[in-house]
Amino acid sequence: MTRVVITHGGAGAGKEYSDGTQRAAEKGMEVLRNGGNALDAVVEAIVVLEDDERFNAGTGSYAKLNGEIEMDAALMDSRMQAGGVAAIKRVKNPIRVARCVMETPHVLLVGDGAVEFARMKGFPDYDPMTEKARKRLAEVKEKLKTGDLPPWAEKWKKFVYPGLTGTVGAVAMDETGYYAAGSSTGGTSIMLPGRVGDSPQIGSGLYAGKHGAVTTTGIGEEIIKRVLCKSVYDKIARGMAPQKACEWGVSLFPNEISVGIIAVSKKGVGVASNRDMAHWVIAEE
Ligand code: ASP
């Protein structure tokens, strides 16, 4: 393999969304063919998914219980560069802001600080709210009212509300053997304001190093506790093929916790999930 791009549309986002993940992977591959590197490819692939409002990232992100949209996105590459934003509001493409954070001395900017930084970098005010998100929030509130939900404490962790995932992610390898991973999300289905999941957290939601790149989707609280992407990466670094490593990563979760993982290394590609997961793989020989 010389060039690889893999994209996903979230654990639980079914195959009917794979046209979106295909368009994103094709965009990433076009960037690589035109001389862009793996990081450029991951950013541009994720922008396609953030702009597709069927996915829960950028435009189309789900709202928190207070009706506000707070988004998380991050990037990491095999040169140990990393940047991310968490609980950022009112920007069109959080992944582009994450790219700018990568160029600062910091790794993660959150909340108002992240918004202020985005404005300083010239990202205009943008409302990512959609009809879909409004409807979804109303449904969630109704369920909260009727009690058709698990309790907020213990059972919250295991609660899976069908069809509500749709986080996006991408990994890429360019012909120099440089790797990058990225992820972007509006979060999970029911969230308190200020909640941040795995997606912008290095080691949990994404990881890249000289042996490959990995990113994940699923219930963030459970992914964080398993430091999932670094754990999968470490397997790859010790020689495991990415497909096997992704399957091993998924096996760490009980079936009621949705999870999906994509990865690339010199040994190949990996895609695994315990849910239907729209994704796309393009690998050039
Ligand atoms: N991992 C994301 C989060 O917990 C959600 C997802 O992948 O669907 O914020």
Per the CB < 8 A criterion, the answer to whether 242 and 267 are in contact is yes
93: Cβ below 6 Å to ligand 1?
Answer: no
Residue 157 confidence (pLDDT): 42
Ligand 1 pocket member 185 (CB < 6 A): yes
The predicted structure's pLDDT at residue 155: 52
Tally of residues, the chain: 285
May I ask the CATH class of domain 3-284?
alpha beta
pLDDT of 137 reads 87
Q: What b/e string do you get for 213-243 counting C-beta neighbours within 10 Å, with b at 16 or more?
A: bbbbbbbbbbbbebbbbbbbbbbbeeebbbe
In this predicted structure, what is the pLDDT of residue 142? 78
Give the residue from 187, 88, 189 showing the smallest Cα distance to 141. Answer: 189
216 is catalytic: no
Query: What separation in Å is there between the alpha carbon of 46 and the centre of ligand 1?
Result: 15
| Residue with CA nearest ligand 1 atom 7 | 217
Q: State which amino acid sits at residue 59.
A: T
Closest CA to 59 of 166, 194, 206: 166
Taking 3-state DSSP, the helix, strand and coil percentages for the chain, each rounded to the nearest 5, stand at 35, 25, 40
Kindly give the number of the ligand 1 atom that is closest to the alpha carbon of 223.
1
Instruction: Determine the residue of 219, 225, 274 to mutate for testing ligand 1's pocket, defined as the one with the most ligand atoms within 8 A of the Cβ atom.
Output: 219
Percent of the chain at pLDDT > 70 equals 92
Q: How far is the CA of 121 from the centre of ligand 1 (A)?
A: 27
Measured in Å, residue 184 CA sits from the centre of ligand 1 at: 9
Residues of the chain with pLDDT under 50: 150-154, 156-157, 159-164
Locate the domains of the chain by residue range. 3-284
Q: What confidence score (pLDDT) does residue 145 get?
A: 66
Per-residue confidence (pLDDT) for residue 188, from 0 to 100: 80
Tokens of 82: 């990393």
Strands (E), the chain: 3-11, 71-77, 82-88, 108-110, 168-173, 179-185, 206-209, 212-218, 259-265, 268-273, 277-284
Reduced to 3 states, what is the DSSP secondary structure of residue 43? helix
Decide whether any atom of ligand 1 lies within 6 Å of the 201 Cβ. Answer: no
Q: 217 CB less than 6 Å from ligand 1?
A: yes
Cβ–ligand 1 distance for 197 under 6 Å, the answer yes
What value does the CA radius of gyration of the chain take, rounded to a whole number of Å? Answer: 17
Token pair 């700018």 is at which residue? Answer: 100
- Of ligand 1's listed atoms, the one at least distance from the Cα of 186 is 9
Report CA(189)–ligand 1 centroid distance (Å): 9
pLDDT reported for residue 161: 46
pLDDT, tens digit, for every residue of 118-155?
Answer: 999 999 999 999 999 999 888 877 776 676 664 333 45
Question: What confidence score (pLDDT) does residue 193 get?
Answer: 86
**Candidate of 56, 217, 224, 273 to mutate for ligand 1, largest count of ligand atoms within 8 Å of Cβ:** 217
Q: Are 264 and 179 in contact, with CB atoms under 8 Å apart?
A: yes
Amino acid at 2: T
Structure tokens at 270: 């990996």
Contact 75, 39 (CB under 8 A): yes
Cα(210) to centroid of ligand 1, in Å? Answer: 26
Q: Please state whether beta strands 71-77 and 82-88 pair in parallel, antiparallel, or not at all (unpaired).
A: antiparallel
How far, in Å, CA of 115 to CA of 135, rounded?
26
- pLDDT of 50 reads 98
176 alpha carbon – ligand 1 mean position (Å): 31
CB under 8 Å to 92, separation ≥6 — which residues? Answer: 50, 51, 58, 59, 123, 124, 126, 128
Among 21, 59, 165, 167, the active-site one is 167
- What is the per-residue pLDDT for 29? 98
Q: Is 193 helix (H, G, I), strand (E, B) or coil?
A: coil
DSSP three-state, residue 71: strand
